[in-house]
Structure 1
Amino acid sequence: MFEALHHVALVVTDLERAKRFYGEVLGLELLPDRPAFPFPGAWYAIGEDQLHLIVHEGAKTLRGATTIDSRDGHFAVRVRDAAEVKARLDAAGWPCDDRPNSVTGWHQLFAADPDGNVIEFNSKKT
């Protein structure tokens, strides 16, 4: 019945700032075919899946903090090498919580976007 997770939608407060993080810092591909919704947003490709950014001033999902808390709500992206993502974040001066020897059995790396949305990047241990 269920085929796949199609997309994750995140609320952002400043679309251009969020696009700089997801597009420039992380290097995600901006999808050009976002429908003409009556609100600002952007769609990015993550493999076969998507990340949707939505500007919604009445949102109740914003954390109100940019601290990295891996136990708070987050989404996870499987990456080829978490160390490569860490290098991108480090080059941009972006804070992260690196766990190369996580008890999960894979390399975990956590970061928060400019609005405090927590993202886990994980890969097989190298």
Structure 2
Amino acid sequence: MIRFQGLHHVSLAVRDLKRAKVFYSEVLKFPELPRPPFNSKGVWYAVGDQQLHLLEHPEGDTLRDRGIDTTDGHFSIWVASFSETKAYLDQTGISYEARPDSVAGFAQIFLLDPDRNIIEFAAPYGS
């Protein structure tokens, strides 16, 4: 039996690590973590008690080319406020798809990073 304790990290492939770092570090304000000296290019971020790992993929052929498709692979981050998150995204000019009354049981905001990875921000209804 596997005794699960939680999700440790999610890894995403990116085409251009410098461009991805601008988006995740400067726009979304994810705090960067130290990363071991692997033979690959990458960056690690703290997302609460979990981590997001970005890995520069040398070929780029594993990456998405489509727009937001919520049935496609994505990761979700629980946020305290739907309205504050939406307002911040409006300030930055990031395009998103908002679902304040989602049938999921919570409000959702979906967006794409520069490599078209899907990110979901989830929040309590009415927050």
TM-score w.r.t. structure 1 length? 0.92
Match of 2:59 in 1: 58
Q: Distance in 2 between matches of 1:103 and 1:55?
A: 35
User: Match for 1:11: what amino acid?
Assistant: A
| Residues 14-93 of structure 1 aligned to structure 2 (within 5 Å) | 14-31=16-33, 33-58=34-59, 60-65=61-66, 67-93=67-93
User: Which SS does the other structure have where 1:71 is aligned?
Assistant: coil
Query: Separation in 2 of the partners of 1:69 and 1:19?
Result: 23
CA contact (8 A) 2:14 2:60 kept: no
Q: Which residue of 2 aligns with 1:94?
A: 94
How many corresponding residue pairs?
Answer: 124
Q: Once the two structures are superposed, what CA deviation does each residue of 1:62-101 show, in whole Å capped at 9, x if it has no partner?
A: 1123x11111111111111132222222112110000111
Contact 2:77 2:121 in 1 (8 A): yes
- Backbone CA RMSD of aligned residues: 1.3
Question: Structure 2 CA distance, aligned partners of 1:112 and 1:19?
Answer: 14
Q: Which runs of 5 or more residues in structure 2 are unaligned?
A: none
CA-to-partner distance for each residue in 1:36-68, whole Å, 9 max, x for gaps? 111111111000000000001235531123x11
Q: Contact 1:6–1:49 at 8 Å: present in 2 too?
A: yes
Percent identical across equivalent pairs?
Answer: 49
